[in-house]
Every structure is written in structure tokens, then in C-alpha cells.
Amino acid sequence: MARKRNTSPDITNANPVAGTYEGDYSLIELQPDFYTTDGWLISVNGVPSSHIVLGEPRALVFEYMRWIATGTRAFTDEFLDTDKLRITHLGGGACTMARYFADIYPQSRNTVVELDGELARLAREWFDIPRAPRVKIRVDDARVVAEAFTPASRDIIIRDAFAGAVTPENLTTVEFFEHCHRGLAPGGLYVSNCGDHSDLRGAKSELAGMMEVFDHVAVIADPPMLKGRRYGNIILFGSDRELFDAHSPQTAAITRELLSGGVPAHYKDEEWVRRFASGAHPRRDEMVTE
């Protein structure tokens, strides 16, 4: 396949070709997005996984990715050194979020952990993903990598890993959160994309586990999801640094940005989260079924 030269010295990509590809663990389908110029949808085993707009790393079509971006940027810009930012993405897909943060924070170092080596290879070949060290792709199991984290070696951890439409259970336990907590520098941020059903038991269980490990928690989701009306995404945040409360000016800015999206969402602070997850039982490793 002929390679397409990009003017950026640290990016090389070939022309994407629509079709179905055999991955190491899954079927990968690449489809053009006819509603977005140069947009491409990547599905894994029939489930939409990533979306890329060539030449537009800040274009996030999936709403939940916008919510991750909004909450993470607000925290980063307020508390972290953006010239020395270390971000680990547990679950990478086509590296949409790593590509986004590498563009927003050009000095950041993004490490993507992706289980499917063929998906990682194709993403590198097809899309304008910055080269290492701006975006490094590591083919490995997210839980194994988390267990080996060097203490205080990263500033942000973003978990967005799915097997089909479900997050592997071993990435939702108290022990997993403890590994992530150890890997974060003091005052760092843990972010996860929790896909859940209308009973919201998964999100509440994860939050209960996070509250055993992190001093402070918050969430972002759209109102129908928070009211238990459908399956969807809830973005969970955890940190030992105090997160924005309902009355902070940062919360007002976050709210304005969330409400301006195609699917308006709400930021909920720690007080709300503790009521929401009250009575939930955290999942532990011994409860995980193989």
C-alpha cells in the first residue's frame, strides 16, 4: 500500500481503506463517516469503538469523549504542569483521545495500552497519530500494565477499555484502582468511561470502589443516563486532590461547555456522587469471574 506523506515530521499514515479486518482478538471494521468530511468510524466486533477525522485531532464525534476531554482539561489546566504532562490511556482503540490530548498539550507524553496488536498497527498505518514520544502505543493487557505501574510515574490515567460493550471486570475492582492510584503522581487524575445499563449498578459499584481508594470523586453524564432511563456512558473521575464542587467557577465553565454539546450533559460533584453511590458494594478481585 502506497504511503501518504504528511507535512508534520512526526506523523506518517497511509490512506484508510474501508473494509473488515481480522484483528488479534476481534473483527475490526473501518467505515467512512458520510456525515463528516474525512471522518472514519472504527467498530470492534460490531460495536462502535473509535472515530477519527483526518487532519482534525480536536474533532471528537463521540459525546462521551467530549465529556472526558471537558473534565480532564478543566482539571489539567487548573492543577497540572502541561509542559510535563504524562498521560496513560488504558484501552486505546484508534487512539482518538491520545491524538486529541497530544494536540491540546503538545509537550505531553501519551502512552496508549491496546490489547489488539493488529488494531494498533492499523491505527498507526491509517491515521495521523503523532509518533512517540508524543503518542506511544504499547500492545499489552491493561490490567497487567496497571499492576506494574512505577509509583508516581504518570499524571493522568484514562481507562476506556471494552470487551464488546462491557468493560472487563478486572478493570473495575478496588485492587485495580489501587494499582492506578499508586501509578499516579500526587494530585493526579484517574478517569474512566463506564458503560452501564439503566439499573446503574456498574457505575455505582465502580464509584464505591473508587471512593475506597481516591479521596475525591465526580462524574459527568447526560440526565437520562443519570436517571437510569437507558444504557449509556458515565464518565468517572477520581483524585486525591479536591475536585470542583457545585459552587466553584470551574464547575460553571464545565457546565457551559457540557450543555453546548449535541447531547447536553451535567457535571456532578462529590456530594452528589456519594449520595448516588450510597449503599453500593465495590467489586474486588476475588469476585471477578474468568
Query: Can you give the pTM of this predicted structure?
Result: 0.94
Catalytic residue among 160, 196, 222, 269: 160
Please give the pLDDT value at position 149: 98
Crossing angle between the packed helical segments 96-104 and 63-79, to the nearest 10 degrees: 40
Q: Nine-digit cell at 19?
A: 473494509
Tell me, yes or no, if 160 is annotated catalytic. yes
Crossing angle between the packed helical segments 63-79 and 249-259, to the nearest 10 degrees: 160
Please give the pLDDT value at position 229: 83
Q: For the chain (length 290 residues), average pLDDT per consecutive 10?
A: 33 79 95 96 94 97 97 98 97 96 98 96 96 97 98 98 88 98 98 93 97 98 89 95 95 96 95 96 88
What are the structural domains, with CATH classification, of the chain? 60-287 (3.40.50.150)
Please give the pLDDT value at position 264: 95
Half-sphere exposure of 101 (CA within 13 A, CB side): 35
Please give the pLDDT value at position 15: 86
Please give the pLDDT value at position 13: 58
Terminal Cα distance for the chain, rounded: 40
Please give the pLDDT value at position 290: 58
Please give the pLDDT value at position 31: 97
